[in-house]
Structure formats: C-alpha cells, structure tokens
C-alpha cells in the first residue's frame, strides 16, 4: 500500500542531531530502507520535517520504519495511506458500481 510518512523533528533534538551527524545518518538509513518514490524536506511550524511516499507491504513494518526516527531523532512520525490519481479513479469507479 502506498503510504505517506510525515516526520517532524523537534528543534533542540534536531540541532543536536545535526551537530553530531546523526540527522544525516538516520535520514539516509530511512531512505535506504524505504526506497521512497518521493521525499520532500520542509519546515513545518518551525521544525524540520520530511514527507516520504513509499510502498509498505505489511503493517508489521511500522516498528522498523518508525523506531529509528523515534530513538535517533526524537521525531514525531505519522503514517497515512495515500492514493495517486490512478488509485483515485479506480476507487471512484469501484464506489460508483456498488
């Protein structure tokens, strides 16, 4: 299932992780594990944030995805299923036929 993960890193924890190099290591490791179709890095409400879009095969992957971000960066992590335009059209067609 296509997922969107939003990662929000508190300022103080992010500053510490930036200075000791763990910010880059944790984010790189996450990208290597997820192989996202797209990743965007933004500020949100004054905090470092990332939006990653990736395919999750099974919900049992959640701890392996989120724990390095929780423990390594003190991040808040939100996972949401998402659709692209093709998925939306397919879903609308299915909903209209039922």
Residue spans of the domains in the chain: they are 2-97
Q: Can you tell me the distance from the alpha carbon of 93 to that of 25, in angstroms, rounded to the nearest whole number?
A: 43
Beta bridge partners of 3: 54, 81
Beta bridge partners of 76: 8
CATH number of 2-97: 3.30.70.260
Q: Provide the pLDDT for residue 64.
A: 96
In which residue ranges of the chain is pLDDT below 50? Answer: none
Q: Provide the pLDDT for residue 44.
A: 96
Q: Provide the pLDDT for residue 92.
A: 96
Q: Provide the pLDDT for residue 87.
A: 93
Q: Provide the pLDDT for residue 98.
A: 81
């Amino acid at each position: 299932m296509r997922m969107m993960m939003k990662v929000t890193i508190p300022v103080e924890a992010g500053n510490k992780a930036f200075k000791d190099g763990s910010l880059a290591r944790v984010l790189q490791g996450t990208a290597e594990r997820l192989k996202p179709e797209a990743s965007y890095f933004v500020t949100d409400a004054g905090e470092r944030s990332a939006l990653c879009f990736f395919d999750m095969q099974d919900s049992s992957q959640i701890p392996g995805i989120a724990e390095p971000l929780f423990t390594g960066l003190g991040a808040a992590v939100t996972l949401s299923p998402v659709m692209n335009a093709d998925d939306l059209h397919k879903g609308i067609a299915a909903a209209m036929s039922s």
